[in-house]
Structure 1
């Protein structure tokens, strides 16, 4: 879990991670595999993709979802590009925010929905738009997706 979180993220909610996994498998043909970090007490879902944004040829989303509906969708690829859509209390940005791939400070997220299926669909829609355009600047650019 990221160290920029202050306040309560809450315990991980496995049914939400299972729902995110099902939606991404159903929505995205580039999903190669999924896995939980621990089979007994999972804290994170890993979604492995066969391609990434721009010149990346592999990527992964690390997803956390808590019982308090806090979340993190963290993208990393084999070109060392990473970005994150988060919802958690902190002192330096809105509760729902986006960490851009250029490493600049977190900014308000264009995702306003909070229900797990809608957030998963929104992150997918934003990732897919950036992937199709080969342009990570498209990640936080829509008005309240999905």
Structure 2
């Protein structure tokens, strides 16, 4: 999970994670399973996929959402490709930013194409961009949409 935050991220907001989970299950046929890192005090939703981008044969999203509407959608796959969409206070980029593949390095953060803030819309935007990149086998499409969804 992201370690490049400064300022307050906020307490994890379980109803938001539950909404994210429901949307991914409704939208994505590649979802294999979902779960939380801790069943009693979850801090992260994990969404396992049966396929990934490019040569990856599986992938996972690790997702956090806070009471302050900060979030992290972190993708990692079986070929060790990482990227993520974040919204949180930091010193390296705008609050809403994208860490591109292949390794989601902090120093490579760029402004995010996601401008919406509501949990359902952000989730749909991340899903849409992942799906476009997946179908076109082109990781360069991940942060290329104009204010998705």
User: Which of the five TM-score ranges fits, normalised by the shorter chain?
Assistant: over 0.9
SS of aligned partner of 2:35: strand
SS of aligned partner of 1:34: strand
State the partner residue of 2:75: 75
State the partner residue of 1:4: 4
Distance 1:32 1:3 in 2: 27
Distance 1:131 1:19 in 2: 23
State the partner residue of 2:51: 51
Instruction: Establish whether residue 142 from structure 1 lines up as the match of residue 134 from structure 2.
Output: no
SS of aligned partner of 2:69: coil
State the partner residue of 1:133: 136
State the partner residue of 2:63: 63
State the partner residue of 2:91: 91
SS of aligned partner of 1:57: coil
Question: Following TM superposition, by how much is the alpha carbon of 1:132 offset from its aligned partner in structure 2, in angstroms?
Answer: 0.2
Q: Name which of structure 1's ranges 102-111 and 66-75 shifts more when overlaid on structure 2.
A: 102-111
Instruction: Establish whether residue 121 from structure 1 lines up as the match of residue 115 from structure 2.
Output: no
State the partner residue of 2:13: 13
Give the TM-score of the pair, scaled to structure 1: 0.98
5+ long unaligned stretches in structure 1: none
5+ long unaligned stretches in structure 2: none
Distance 1:88 1:120 in 2: 16
Give the TM-score of the pair, scaled to structure 2: 0.96
> What is the aligned residue count?
146
SS of aligned partner of 1:112: coil
Segments ≥4 residues shifted beyond 2 Å = none
What are the superposed Cα offsets for residues 64-104 of structure 1, whole Å, 9 maximum, x if unpaired? 00000000000000000000000001011000000000345
What are the superposed Cα offsets for residues 20-56 of structure 1, whole Å, 9 maximum, x if unpaired? 0000000000000000000000000000000001110
